[in-house]
C-alpha cells in the first residue's frame, strides 16, 4: 500500500531556473459524498464523483529561481488582476505540501488563474482550483525528475490537490473517480483519487449535468466548518458505513447500467448529506424553497415521462440535474419550460462528464 511518505522525493537529477506551465482542471460532482474527515485531510468515508468538463479552472504558473530565505514567495492573479483574498488559502496549501515538494522556497511563483464558470455562481472553485495548481507544481517536479512515472505523476498530483481541498483530488484524472479506501475497489486510497477501475456501462457515457443556480450567495457553511460537524455527530458512524454500502452498490450499477438504481443511490446521498447538516449541532438548512420546488418538479416529470433524470446537491442550494446523453433534448426542454423560473436570474450551466486535468 502506498503511504504519504512515498511522496517525499529524494534528490532531483535536473535543475531549472525559470519557466512557466499552464494546466486546467475541472470541477467534479460527487455521487457518494465526502462529508467528514479525519487526520491530515483524510476522508471519513470513500466517495465517488463524475468529473465535469466545462466548469474548470485554468491556471498558469510562472516560476523563477530565487535565494531561499525560508519563506514562500508568490503573487496571485485572478483573471489577470492581483487578488489578495485568495492568498491565505494558497499560503496554507504551500505549507501543507512543502515536505512533498522541497523546492517550493527556491522559486518565486506567479499564479495566474481564471474560471470558465461565472465568479460567485455558488459553484465551488476549490476543487478545480487546487487541482489545476497541483498539476502545475507536479509539472515542475517532473521537470526536475524526468524519470518519474506517469502513474506517480497523477497519483502525487491528486495527493497534493487533496491537501488543498479534499474533493480536488477527484479532479485530476479520470471520468469516474473514487477517493477513499473501499474494500471492493482495487487501488482505492484515502491519500488520492483513482480512476474507477471497474466496468462502466454505455448509459453513463457522456452523462449530463446541468447545474441550476438557485442561490449564488456566499456559502453559509464553509466546507471546513461543515466537515467538522461530523465530529460527535449522533449519526456519523452509521453514515460512514452507509457510504461504503452505497459505493458497493454503485460498482454493480456502473457495470449493469441500471439507471433506476443509480437514481435511488444518488438522490439518497444528496438528501443524506443535507440530513447530516440538519441534524448536527449547530444545525443548518442549506436548501432554499426553490431547491425543493426543483426536486419536486424533477420527481413529477420523472413519474410522468419515465425519463431517467435525477438530482444531486452539494453543500448549498444549487441543484445538479443528472441524466444520460440520450435524453438530453427532452430534459433540456423540461429545464427550460419548468425549472429555469426557480433559478436566480434564470441562470444555469450545462456540463457533462469529462476526463480531468489538461495541459495547455
Report the interface residues with ligand DP6, using CB under 6 A. 30, 33-35, 47, 124, 126, 165-167, 223-224, 227, 273, 314-315
Q: Are strands 37-38 and 193-195 parallel, antiparallel or unpaired?
A: unpaired
* Shortest Å distance, C-beta 326 to ligand DP6: 26
Of 62 and 310, which has the nearer Cβ to ligand DP6?
Answer: 310
* Shortest Å distance, C-beta 243 to ligand DP6: 10
Residue 143 to residue 98: CA distance in whole angstroms: 17
* Shortest Å distance, C-beta 40 to ligand DP6: 11
Residue 213 to residue 118: CA distance in whole angstroms: 11
Question: Burial, 73: exposed, middle or buried (Cβ in 10 Å; 0-12, 13-18, 19+)?
Answer: middle
Of 82 and 217, which has the nearer Cβ to ligand DP6?
Answer: 217
Are the C-beta atoms of residues 105 and 72 closer than 8 Å to each other? yes
Residue 314 to residue 204: CA distance in whole angstroms: 20
Residue 213 to residue 346: CA distance in whole angstroms: 8
Please identify the residue of the shown chain whose CB is closest to the bound ligand DP6: 166
- The DSSP secondary-structure symbol of 356 reads B
* Shortest Å distance, C-beta 38 to ligand DP6: 12
* Shortest Å distance, C-beta 301 to ligand DP6: 25
Are the C-beta atoms of residues 6 and 247 closer than 8 Å to each other? no
Of 230 and 253, which has the nearer Cβ to ligand DP6?
Answer: 230
Residue 73 to residue 186: CA distance in whole angstroms: 40
- The DSSP secondary-structure symbol of 101 reads S
Of 126 and 158, which has the nearer Cβ to ligand DP6?
Answer: 126
Of 62 and 226, which has the nearer Cβ to ligand DP6?
Answer: 226
Of 52 and 335, which has the nearer Cβ to ligand DP6?
Answer: 52
For residue 337 the three cell numbers come to 419550460
Among candidate residues 267, 278, 183, 264, the one with its CA nearest the CA of residue 235:
278
Of 112 and 314, which has the nearer Cβ to ligand DP6?
Answer: 314
* Shortest Å distance, C-beta 332 to ligand DP6: 25
Q: What are phi and psi of 208, to 5 degrees?
A: -105, 145
Are the C-beta atoms of residues 31 and 50 closer than 8 Å to each other? yes
* Shortest Å distance, C-beta 222 to ligand DP6: 8
Amino acid at each position: 500500500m502506498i503511504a504519504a511518505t512515498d511522496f517525499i522525493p529524494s534528490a532531483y537529477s535536473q535543475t531549472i531556473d525559470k519557466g512557466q506551465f499552464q494546466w486546467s482542471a475541472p470541477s467534479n460532482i460527487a455521487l457518494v459524498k465526502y462529508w467528514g474527515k479525519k487526520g491530515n485531510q483524510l476522508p471519513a468515508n470513500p466517495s465517488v464523483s463524475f468529473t465535469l468538463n466545462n466548469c474548470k479552472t485554468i491556471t498558469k504558473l510562472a516560476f523563477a529561481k530565487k535565494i531561499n530565505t525560508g519563506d514562500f514567495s508568490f503573487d496571485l492573479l485572478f483573471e489577470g488582476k492581483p487578488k489578495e483574498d485568495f492568498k491565505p488559502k494558497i499560503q496554507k496549501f504551500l505549507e501543507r505540501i512543502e515536505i512533498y515538494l522541497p523546492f517550493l522556497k527556491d522559486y518565486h511563483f506567479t499564479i495566474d488563474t481564471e474560471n470558465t464558470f461565472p465568479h460567485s455562481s455558488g459553484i465551488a472553485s476549490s476543487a478545480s482550483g487546487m487541482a489545476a495548481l497541483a498539476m502545475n507544481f507536479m509539472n515542475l517536479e517532473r521537470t526536475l525528475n524526468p524519470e518519474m512515472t506517469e502513474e506517480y505523476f497523477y497519483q502525487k498530483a491528486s495527493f497534493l490537490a487533496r491537501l488543498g481541498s479534499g474533493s480536488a483530488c477527484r479532479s485530476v484524472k479520470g471520468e469516474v473517480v473514487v477517493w477513499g479506501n473501499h474494500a471492493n475497489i482495487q487501488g482505492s486510497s484515502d491519500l488520492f483519487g483513482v480512476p474507477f477501475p471497474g466496468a462502466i456501462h454505455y448509459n453513463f457515457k457522456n452523462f449530463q449535468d446541468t447545474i441550476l443556480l438557485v442561490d449564488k450567495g456566499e456559502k453559509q457553511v464553509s466546507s471546513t466548518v461543515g466537515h467538522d460537524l461530523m465530529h460527535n455527530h449522533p449519526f456519523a458512524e452509521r453514515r460512514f458505513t452507509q457510504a461504503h454500502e452505497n459505493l458497493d452498490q454503485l460498482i454493480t450499477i456502473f457495470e449493469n447500467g441500471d439507471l433506476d438504481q443509480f437514481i435511488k443511490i444518488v438522490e439518497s446521498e444528496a438528501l443524506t448529506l443535507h440530513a447530516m447538516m440538519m441534524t448536527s449541532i449547530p444545525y443548518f438548512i442549506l436548501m432554499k424553497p426553490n431547491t425543493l420546488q426543483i426536486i419536486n418538479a424533477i420527481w413529477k416529470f420523472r413519474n410522468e415521462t419515465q425519463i431517467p433524470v435525477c438530482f444531486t446537491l452539494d453543500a448549498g442550494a444549487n441543484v445538479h440535474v443528472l441524466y444520460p446523453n440520450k435524453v438530453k433534448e427532452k430534459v433540456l426542454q423540461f429545464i427550460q419550460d419548468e425549472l429555469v423560473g426557480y433559478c436566480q436570474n434564470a441562470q444555469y450551466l450545462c456540463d457533462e462528464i469529462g476526463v480531468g486535468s489538461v495541459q495547455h
